Amino acid sequence: MLMDPSAMVASTSSFYISVGCASGLIVIMTATATACYIRSKKSCRSNSKGDSSRGASDHGQTFLRVDTPNNASTTGSYSSFRRLTPLSINVPVQVNNLRASELTEQISEIDVERKNIVLYEKIQEGTFGQIYRGMLIETDNEITMKQNTFVKTVSDQASKDQISLLLAEGMKMYGTNHKNVLPIIAVCMDDVQHPLLVYPFMNRGNLKLFLQKCKFSVEGHCHTLLTQDLVGMAIQIVQGMIYLNKKKIIHGDLAARNCVVDDKLHVKITDNALSRDLFPNDYHCLGDNENRPVKWLALESLLKKEFSTASDVWSFGVTLWELMTLGHQPYVEIDPFEMGASLRDGYRLSQPINCPDELYTLMAFSWAAAPEKRPSFIQLLVCFQDFYNALGLYV
């Protein structure tokens, strides 16, 4: 059967045109579906963060964008807070590292013999770090003085690097003298493999552990903390940080775990010696062989390793959040490797249950991405004192 050649050409052309149109349609549909999928994923991510934070319970909390409505309340006397923040708090980036010779000299000034230190029960223990309740015995002009103390030391498993780190971080508060800062008062180097660092005793111990006991203990067995009590403790931490700021000391690891408290709710800021070992869940290594308190660090500290008074203000905001949640873990649902991206996108911790709007406002301002837009500790102190006095009017 023979066909007309011209008909065959027309038929072939129609076939290729049909195939081309079909292919083009498939490409367009694929591109449209891909775009919709990406858009829906972004939407789901945003919604999940918002929904989970709105439904946060005592056992979990995600984060909210700081610019979300009602997340930065400016009610009452705090309406003027934004007018305070333009004041510059640009502080040169500082690192409190001491040369080996300076560290050795400082240690020699407070070195005591082993016989002058008595160790009692063990209070905390990690993989290589240990904290004891102890007593420091000193003799001056034949007068014997005894002082209850904390004693930090290491176990047999500690490496030379860990011992060096203990000494370097333990001497951070050397020479300080303030009612809200816990200074190191003695060091014993008789056994260089097990140095003893001695601090004044605070009978309620670590602030983070104390807050958690208050949260979970049977009523009557521990303090029942009121909002005014928590604000009072926050004021003491701010006062201690103002003092350290004047001394040109950048803490770099401000958190509830690095504070101690007594039964009268007096709070003192401590150094961070042994904190990585005693609170391993608070520190993470992001592939650079350095354990850091990732979820307490300011954005510039996390991404650029830049530390200043402004970065301490950020960490204080997280510490305040710990106070208001009675020792809860911040950003508990967030992978440490995602913290930098999440903070850069503007996400922050959500407002704790029963936390007054005024206090969450101070947290939100402390977490401003730009260091110069965060309040200074002096500005925070003014706001806290005003709020504390206002609370007293209703008691």
Active site residues: 253
Our measurement of the distance from residue 248's CA atom to the centroid of its chain's CA atoms, rounded to an integer in Å, reads: 20
Other CB atoms within a 10 A radius of the CB of residue 265 amount to 16
Euclidean distance between CA atoms 78 and 348, whole angstroms? 20
Euclidean distance between CA atoms 65 and 272, whole angstroms? 30
Tokens of 68: 């979300």
Euclidean distance between CA atoms 379 and 324, whole angstroms? 20
Contact 169, 277 (CB under 8 A): no
The one-character DSSP state at 222 is S
Helix (H, G, I), strand (E, B) or coil at 198: strand
CA nearest 357: which of 117, 73, 149? 73
- Burial (0-12, 13-18, 19+ Cβ within 10 Å), 286: middle
Tokens of 393: 């009017």
The CA distances from residue 338 to 55, 290, 344, 348, in Å, are: 22, 17, 10, 13
Euclidean distance between CA atoms 357 and 349, whole angstroms? 14
220: alpha, beta or left, given left = phi > 0 and alpha = psi -120 to 50?
A: left
Helix (H, G, I), strand (E, B) or coil at 30: helix
Tokens of 200: 């004044």
CA nearest 351: which of 45, 62, 44? 62
